[in-house]
Structure 1
């Protein structure tokens, strides 16, 4: 995911008026970039202000303290990444393999689920007990949502829980491994992964729909990079 546009630089946002040079959204976006690029230690009010060309007083219009900003980053992560995964697990699906494909949209689409932000939060949690507690609660909610997804397709509770954990933690480890696989290589394995995750043979139309989604996202992202 590229660096977030500042509110004042984004033509899709309403024009800023008066003495307002940046918004709370701008401060949060700049802090998210800093967190992802260098960890929470790089989330410094002075540095963020210099990047945006504004004084520290602008920051205190929106946040009480640096800790308030850090708390906002965690809240943003939960309301974006965790909420997105849970919502995808609850999407209407005719089969369990289609349901798992819905969840894997999160893996593919950074606009839906920011994988880099997830890694940044995990890294942060290694050094902060409070963040570790938030991460644990969030991951439990994600696994619970996936467990309920399997249960909707008549998997026994323990089996549903085990499959949910395999699905969730396998993907986390897969992304961390940074295998550098091509898009087509990953798609060629989709049917095999779905069979392992669910014990069910995926339908050709499900695999085609997933492949179409993946290629559409890849084309969109490639176009965005080319225009930037």
Structure 2
């Protein structure tokens, strides 16, 4: 029988899996098909191990989902820290850098999955809300520094936030936003 190609992303049967391996597989299922698709049998098949292997790390699927939620909250906190680090940039550069971070296509799928999960999980919803609030605070601060009135700064920051959320939800379904698109939007929203 000819050798079959080995999927390098899946641990080989018999290799010892870590909690991180299970969380990585769970994250991929979350991104691909949503939280409701997360099942022990599916995870085990994806990792090429028996269901019994799952129970070395987690008592049940609820425990895995709790660990995954914490993993996702940490990811959101890391994103918030990166955004927070932009606060010292001049206003327009700050908005541009924030847009680049948030429009990274690698983040879109995960961000979309988290927003869908947030509909049914309050802890994930709180994490998403915290990141949105941080983004909004930095955007409105930049708009104030550019000299806009409180009403204008609020409207412009809100538009930036909702445009970012729209990009996340439109990813893969509509034309991707280009770097030029982002520059035009930022130029329109920051122009006096």
Contact 1:77 1:117 in 2 (8 A): no
Which residue of structure 1 aligns with residue 55 of structure 2?
60
Give the drift of 1:26. Answer: 1.1
Please state if 1:143 is matched with 2:136: yes
Change (3 A) 1:62 1:53: same
Give the drift of 1:40. Answer: 0.8
- Could you tell me which runs of 5 or more consecutive residues in structure 1 were left unpaired when the two chains were aligned: 10-18, 201-228
Contact 1:147 1:161 in 2 (8 A): yes
Which residue of structure 1 aligns with residue 9 of structure 2?
5
Change (3 A) 1:74 1:164: farther
Question: TM-score scaled by structure 1?
Answer: 0.64
Which residue of structure 1 aligns with residue 30 of structure 2?
35
Change (3 A) 1:168 1:146: same
Contact 2:30 2:38 in 1 (8 A): yes
24-33 or 84-93, which moves further after superposition? 84-93
- Of 111, 117, 126, which aligns to 2:110? 117
- Of 160, 163, 169, which aligns to 2:162? 169
Change (3 A) 1:94 1:121: closer
Between 1 and 2, higher relative CO (CA 8 Å, sep ≥ 6) is seen in 2
Whole-angstrom CA distance in 1 between matches of 2:43 and 2:77 = 26
Determine helix, strand or coil for the equivalent of 1:189.
helix
Whole-angstrom CA distance in 2 between matches of 1:90 and 1:149 = 14
Give the drift of 1:35. Answer: 0.9
Contact 1:4 1:29 in 2 (8 A): no
- Could you tell me which runs of 5 or more consecutive residues in structure 2 were left unpaired when the two chains were aligned: 1-6
Taking the TM superposition and a 5 Å limit, the aligned residue runs for 1:202-213 are: none
Change (3 A) 1:50 1:44: same
Whole-angstrom CA distance in 1 between matches of 2:85 and 2:114 = 24
Give the drift of 1:33. Answer: 1.1
Which residue of structure 2 aligns with residue 197 of structure 1?
189
- 1:154-212 CA distances to partner (integer Å, 9 max, x unpaired)? 6666554443322111121134234314x7xx233343211222225xxxxxxxxxxxx
Question: TM-score scaled by structure 2?
Answer: 0.74
147-156 or 79-88, which moves further after superposition? 147-156
Question: CA RMSD for the aligned pairs?
Answer: 3.3
